[in-house]
Structure 1
Amino acid sequence: MPDPIGGPARPGTRRRGTTPLRRPARAVRRGLSQLLCAVAGLGLGLLAPLVTGGPQVDAGRVAGVLFTLGFGVISLVSIIYSVLFLVVQFSASTFTPRLGLFRDEPVVWRTFAFTVGLFVFCITAGLAIGSRESVSTAVPSVAVVLTLVALALMRTLQMKAFDSIQLGHSLSAITTRAHRLYDTLYVNPYTPTGAVPSPPVADAGAEVRWTGPPAVLQSVDVPALLGAARAGDSAVAFRVAPGTTLAEGTVVARVAGDGVPASVLLGALTTGVERIFDQDPELPFRLLADIALRALSPAVNDPATAVEALDHLEALLIRLAGRDLDVGRFHDSTGRARVSVPVPAWDRYVRTAVDDVLFAAAGSPMTLRRTRDLLRALAERAPAERRAVVLDRLRWAERTGGETYPLVWTNGTGTEPDGPSGTRTRGTPR
């Protein structure tokens, strides 16, 4: 997690970037866009009938067209959104219930906001015409153009829906969001001197506990906490990371000093009912592993899907293998550490990505071989200090594969004897 804008790097260390962890404004933008489109439709509907230039057409016929377009478009978009609920349900039951990529697509709520604005325009303009005998052709022309734009948005929405039920598009979407998040958080290369995670900035202090109903911590507004901590000469050490489920009484953080009241600290948290990508770097691994596990379940039995998920898991692990992951300390403009947030270490990423899939893959030679190849590639690309956790799992995969599938368990170069009753793949650990 990078340092805030304007704050110098920790003395004696490298600067960790300049993008702060701010509270997401997604819900605000959605509601605001719908309000703005409705207001714009209202204003345009009142102003358009005032245009007097150009050819004139019968006002009664134009009013009828406007009402027809308005109610027709809003009815069509209602039907489309009802069908899209089935798409969301399909993705949840086929891939993982935690996959909400389509629902979070901007085109979903932008299309709805635009159609609301078009509906308001058509109804307002139709009523504003009133009992006039004629009206400029600009009014129906604007209505037709806006309707065509709405239809184009609906088509884009449908294409996004179709993509969301395709395995390849879903895996690529998860990986793309993960790359964007990791390129923001982990901007420095890994060095052995950074192998030991930094301790929290406040080992002792007053505990701040969660007092609300169970919720998922989605994000932390670090810039707001940095300002409060500096103003009160305090330090805040979080005990939970984004993605953690908060139960009543959970210790959220420790505060050294009296400058950050519990209300201010809890007010800097964004919670919800599910995990989101904004500040949860472990979520992409969890989603990909869940897709692989569901594919390996006896009810589905689709090892090829698990192999595709492992392809993307390997790409993410290799991307992180050479980066400094200790990015959970934040400093104010004077260089003093004020806020710390737990972040996943390398071992945590490997365990989340591999462990559950590795044991489930024991019943599928195709998936077990792909997991073995993933671990081999990771052992070659990871720094020496990070290979132990990978080699432990590689040895287990080799041993399990050789014992369970002796006829097919080769590395492509043949096998060599390993005692009187078995074989061992050349070049693999015992």
Structure 2
Amino acid sequence: MSGSSGTGGTGGTGGTGGISGTGRRALRHPHALASLREGLRDTFWFAPTVGLLCAFVLWWGLAEADARIVAHLQRERAYEELGDLIAVVVDARTIVTTISSAMMTFIGVVFSISLVAVQMASGQLTPRVVRIFVRSRISKLTLTVFLATFAFSLLVLSSYEGGAAPDPRRVTSVPLLQSVLTLGMVGLSLLLFIAYVSSTLRLMQVGPVLDHIARESFRALGRQSGGEPFDGAPLAAEAVRLVHRERAGVLRSVNVARLVRAARRQGVVLRLVPRIGDFVVPGTPVLAVHGGAAPPPYALRYTVAVGVERTTHQDPAFGLRQLSDIALRALSASVNDPTTAVQCLDRIVQFLSVAVYLPLGPVHHRDGRGAVRLVQEVPGWTELVDLAFEEIRGCAAGSPQVTRRLLAGIDDLLLLAAEERRKPLLRHRALLVEAVERTVPEAAGRAFALHPDRQGIG
């Protein structure tokens, strides 16, 4: 980001550090800790890499322990006991060798299942649900343990000394603990494989996927409710705008605590210009500073995260977007699956039934002394209702199962909504009735399609 003097400046194309141009400041690309955590969850390499490193450290520690056991027995001249250990380990070597050769095949099976599941979910639902599979903890844990078992078994094989039965007097290491742990990791791999297959089959079903999206959206709503409704009080004059100077992308999250702290130290009010989920390009205003000079660049590092796609971390509207996309694909002529659309409407109504009680629209965040330091624009109630119903309503007029469920959902929300939030619901209800009346010529068909039913057609 960089600062641009005045209220409408969008910055130039100067340097990325220090001061570039009159009144302009450039900030480093920020990375908040929360966005880093979310970014790592969106990758599939981090957990397996950590698992491989842990396998190497564990092997090194157990090799040292095995060496000390052998040295202790040799000092005690317990050659008979040591010979027995060597015999057990020699028998276990065949098992470890088999394990090391079989684990790669097992890993290939896991990858094959993952790719098939992702392809089916992406084709039947929406490409955006692929993120659920990428972020699946059980998938990452299974792959991590499998790779760690494979690497560990190879390291254990390197610890075996040549010969069928090494001389107990001259042997330096007997990988007893290593062999036992290898067998334990194989057992853990088998259990995880069962859990992985069960989890993958579950995520290939529509219901669990929609439930996962809904739960992520509720968590995002909880994080968003940390602010207070903006009371509309006028802000001080806008002095400067900080503009985005790095790569283009979607605004994924902001570090509210750090922004409030920076604004308090500078004695100003910051206003987030785009909303979470907006696509920003270099030169796009990101933060407006009211009431004074902009905070120093170092104070605003790690405050705004931009990525290649939206996430639900601080963007509950993205959950509605996904549910709407799945419903629209289900209602398309190529799929024609109104039951899936009804299931999406179930979750949409559930989401709105929670959001109807929350403060929406612009919110402000205060510092420890109660002074407003950050104003953030979030989707209002009308925008959420439009996102939830507008596109589905346009495609549902010819499907009585969907129109009946949509009417029932709107009627349920009308019972929950305060008077000032009923208007968009009534508008969508009236538009749905008009669409059905235009689409269905028979009076009996119209009456059937406009009868509210929470199951669509029970």
TM bracket (short chain): 0.7 to 0.9
| Range that drifts further, 74-83 or 45-54 | 45-54
Cα distance between partner residues in 1 of 2:420 and 2:46 = 49
Cα gap change, 1:22 to 1:255, in 2 (>3 Å) = farther
Cα gap change, 1:253 to 1:202, in 2 (>3 Å) = farther
Structure 1: 5+ residue stretches without partners: 1-19, 415-430
Cα distance between partner residues in 1 of 2:431 and 2:450 = 20
Residue 133 (structure 2) pairs with residue 102 (structure 1): yes
2:161 matched residue in structure 1: 130
1:396 matched residue in structure 2: 431
Contact kept in structure 2, 1:292 and 1:306, CA below 8 Å:
yes
Residue 54 (structure 2) pairs with residue 40 (structure 1): yes
Shift of 1:352: 0.3
For this pair of structures, how many residues does the alignment match? 390
Counterpart residue type for residue 239 of structure 2: G
1:408 matched residue in structure 2: 445
| Range that drifts further, 20-29 or 291-300 | 20-29
Which string of whole-angstrom CA distances, capped at 9 and with x for unpartnered residues, describes residues 38-72 of structure 1?
Answer: 33322332343414487514455544533432342
2:187 matched residue in structure 1: 148
1:139 matched residue in structure 2: 178
Question: TM-score, normalised on structure 1?
Answer: 0.81
Cα gap change, 1:215 to 1:202, in 2 (>3 Å) = farther
| Range that drifts further, 162-171 or 50-59 | 50-59
Same amino acid, percent of matched pairs? 23
Match of 1:227 among 261, 265, 270: 261
Cα distance between partner residues in 1 of 2:308 and 2:450 = 50
Shift of 1:332: 1.8
Shift of 1:236: 1.8
Counterpart residue type for residue 267 of structure 2: D
Cα distance between partner residues in 2 of 1:412 and 1:117 = 57
Cα gap change, 1:92 to 1:352, in 2 (>3 Å) = same
Shift of 1:326: 4.9
Instruction: Name the SS of the counterpart of 1:330 in structure 2.
Output: strand
2:113 matched residue in structure 1: 83
Cα gap change, 1:176 to 1:106, in 2 (>3 Å) = same
Instruction: Name the SS of the counterpart of 1:252 in structure 2.
Output: strand
1:288 matched residue in structure 2: 323
1:73 matched residue in structure 2: 103
2:5 matched residue in structure 1: none
Which string of whole-angstrom CA distances, capped at 9 and with x for unpartnered residues, describes residues 368-391 of structure 1?
Answer: 222122212211211111001111
Cα distance between partner residues in 1 of 2:375 and 2:153 = 53
Match of 1:363 among 384, 395, 398: 398
Contact kept in structure 1, 2:159 and 2:175, CA below 8 Å:
no
Contact kept in structure 2, 1:77 and 1:112, CA below 8 Å:
yes
Structure 2: 5+ residue stretches without partners: 1-31, 74-80, 169-173, 452-458
Instruction: Name the SS of the counterpart of 2:436 in structure 1.
Output: helix
Cα gap change, 1:197 to 1:247, in 2 (>3 Å) = farther
Shift of 1:187: 7.1
Contact kept in structure 1, 2:398 and 2:436, CA below 8 Å:
no
Residue 337 (structure 2) pairs with residue 306 (structure 1): no
Shift of 1:174: 1.1
2:215 matched residue in structure 1: 176
Structure number with bigger Rg: 2
Instruction: Name the SS of the counterpart of 1:205 in structure 2.
Output: strand
Cα gap change, 1:359 to 1:32, in 2 (>3 Å) = closer
Which string of whole-angstrom CA distances, capped at 9 and with x for unpartnered residues, describes residues 401-420 of structure 1?
Answer: 24433213337999xxxxxx
Match of 1:254 among 269, 285, 288: 288
Which string of whole-angstrom CA distances, capped at 9 and with x for unpartnered residues, describes residues 267-326 of structure 1?
Answer: 422222111111001011111111111111111121121111111111111121122225
Match of 1:163 among 198, 202, 215: 202
Match of 1:245 among 269, 272, 279: 279
Cα gap change, 1:387 to 1:231, in 2 (>3 Å) = same
1:111 matched residue in structure 2: 142
Match of 2:251 among 202, 213, 217: 217
Contact kept in structure 1, 2:324 and 2:392, CA below 8 Å:
yes
Shift of 1:241: 1.8
CA root-mean-square deviation: 3.0
**Higher helix share goes to which structure?**
2
Cα gap change, 1:342 to 1:61, in 2 (>3 Å) = same
Contact kept in structure 2, 1:330 and 1:339, CA below 8 Å:
yes
Contact kept in structure 1, 2:365 and 2:374, CA below 8 Å:
yes
Counterpart residue type for residue 225 of structure 2: Y
Task: Give 1:272-283 correspondences, 5 Å limit.
Answer: 272-283=307-318
Counterpart residue type for residue 117 of structure 1: A
Cα distance between partner residues in 2 of 1:66 and 1:306 = 51
Shift of 1:220: 0.9
Shift of 1:203: 5.9
Shift of 1:92: 1.5
Contact kept in structure 2, 1:215 and 1:246, CA below 8 Å:
yes
Match of 2:358 among 309, 319, 323: 323
1:418 matched residue in structure 2: none
| Range that drifts further, 380-389 or 208-217 | 208-217
Question: TM-score, normalised on structure 2?
Answer: 0.76
Cα gap change, 1:149 to 1:265, in 2 (>3 Å) = same
